[in-house]
Amino acid sequence: MKYIIVGAVAGGASAAARLRRLDEHAEIIIFEKGEYISYANCGLPYYIGDVIKDRNKLFVQTASAFNKRFNIDVRVMTEVTNIDPLNHTITAINHATGELYEEKYDKLILSPGAEPLRPPLPGIMSEGIFTLRNVNDTDFIKAYIQEKKVKTVLIIGAGFIGLEMAENFFGLGLNVTIIEMGNQILAPIDFPIAAIAQHHIRSKGVSLLLNTGVTGFSKNGDQILVTVNNGAELQADMVLLSIGVRPDTRLALQAGLKIGSSKGIWVNEYLQTSEPDIYAVGDAIEFENPITNRSMITYLAGPANKQGRICADNVVLGNARSYHGSINTAIVKVFDMTVGTTGTASKHLSAANINHIVSTTHNGSHAAYYPDVKQMTIQIAFSPKNGQLLSAQIAGYDGVDKRLDILSSFITQKKTIYELIEFEQAYAPQYSSAKDPVNMAGFVAENILLERLNIFYWNEVENIKVDGVLVDVRRKDEFEAGHITSSINIPVDEIRSRLNELTKEQNIYIYCEAGLRGYLAQRILKQHGFRKVKNLSGGYQLWKICAEEFGLVSQ
């Protein structure tokens, strides 16, 4: 058998190595249009920021090492320009020599990846405007900073790469401004968790401009002038475009392969394209989201590597393994903070008409009495019908990755919040609490489902002010330090003796700092005959950050 793989890095290289382990005698050729076949794409920002100082550490495998270990013909700087599915041939050009030639295949695997978006704005091709996708981009950016003695940088787009680059540029001592067209950073997550991260970014002195679109670029000497949609003009030594990527489907289109509704290469459950002898993996493919059942594309290294392995099994063994999709588990370091997401965000569940409940909890990263405990905020979404966990998002400082992985596992296995309650973690005060933040998220969700807890959300407060009474159940000193306008203060420890200040006919909306005291107050009131009582999910601290970021109150 002769297998040809187009594109290396994550999906293609994984598929090639797996093919060899399954078939020692097959002929395997990898075509890679770039110089490198397997490198740590996610490490590129940290090399630019001098966190990773040795450039060689970015390379997982070199072409020669890959050839020596796996006996695979690796052809770098060689681009496949044409596929003929009928005759089972590809046409390739060696960019080093200019040679154009054909190769036959029995099975073909496409792993072309994605390409960064560079919209046709005036001046966008000017010197000093970069995208970051590969090692060459990294080298150009790093050299430009040094040669031009860059002091100020504008990052356009506040996705994962944009935020990682903001941190690394900031670490180099550069003045950083982030411009984002949307009303929040990190589009895959919901606004409350994004707001927490935005607040942290601003606290570092980084300028964050939301709801701001770029309309064009021009040069003033070595300076780049960036015009935005409100007519303002910003100036910087360098610009990084981080406004997203799109699947590279050019070869697939040329070959007549089916393109799906999300504009990626359509594949079936076996990662097989519309041509039976052509398979595809990685950033260029689309597949069914296991939560929404809608077609989606994911640009993550983890799924691409797993797809490569499954695809190789199917190519050699004959469609033996199904790919079950990705729930888009992702994590990012945002300066000192860590933000993670898994499953389908509430806003996307709503768009897919999936009924769900959102709950937000705040807990310490480990036992409160052990030194250096750090707060983390967990938001989960779950089904009101059976409690099935649909998504989880976390913002915090320590232990975010551990909790995110637990929640990702539960979502993948279609587990419920009831099973979350029973999750048994490794407990010692340095690492957790006897009731872990994951358990606490489950406890609160169970209370909601059992109607022991009725909640309202930060963005409903404005309507509530004319709909009922807003009660702050924190201590008097906390209330005086800052509270929601028009709320009254009845501390939870005094509420039994002050029931006469409330009426059972009115809607009562309670809040405390994080949610626990509000829940206790609600339980007291309900058992004294007050039926129309709700508690603010996430408490005052989440409301304050969200209201500030949304522009409802001054920062």
List the structure tokens of 490. 């009845």
Residue 553 binned pLDDT confidence (cut-offs 50, 70, 90): low
Q: What phi, psi does 273 have (nearest 5°)?
A: -80, -175
What's the whole-number mean pLDDT along residues 299-321? 94
Q: Are residues 367 and 521 in contact, defined by beta-carbon separation less than 8 angstroms?
A: no
CB neighbour class for 95 (10 Å; exposed up to 12, middle 13-18, buried from 19) = middle
The secondary structure element, H or E, covering residue 251 is helix 250-254
pTM: 0.94
What b/e readout covers 328-363, taking b as 16+ CB neighbours within 10 angstroms?
bbbbbbbbebbbbbbbbbbebbeeeebebbbbbbbb
Write the pLDDT tens digit of every residue in 388-402: 999 999 999 999 999
Averaged pLDDT of the chain: 94
For residue 552, the model assigns a pLDDT of 64
Write the pLDDT tens digit of every residue in 311-333: 999 999 999 999 999 999 999 99
What's the one-letter identity of residue 509? Y
| Residue with the larger pLDDT of the pair 370 and 462 | 370
Residues designated catalytic:
42
What's the whole-number mean pLDDT along residues 435-456? 96
What's the whole-number mean pLDDT along residues 262-270? 96
Residue 151 binned pLDDT confidence (cut-offs 50, 70, 90): very high
Q: Are residues 240 and 131 in contact, defined by beta-carbon separation less than 8 angstroms?
A: yes
For residue 70, the model assigns a pLDDT of 92
Over its C-alpha atoms, the chain yields an Rg (Å, rounded) of: 27
Q: Look up tokens 């050009």; give the residue.
A: 93
CA–CA separation, 265 and 297 (whole Å): 9
Q: Are residues 147 and 50 in contact, defined by beta-carbon separation less than 8 angstroms?
A: no
Write the pLDDT tens digit of every residue in 234-260: 999 999 999 989 999 999 999 999 999
Residue 140 binned pLDDT confidence (cut-offs 50, 70, 90): very high
At residue 555, does pLDDT exceed 60? no
What's the whole-number mean pLDDT along residues 428-453? 95
List the structure tokens of 294. 């809608």
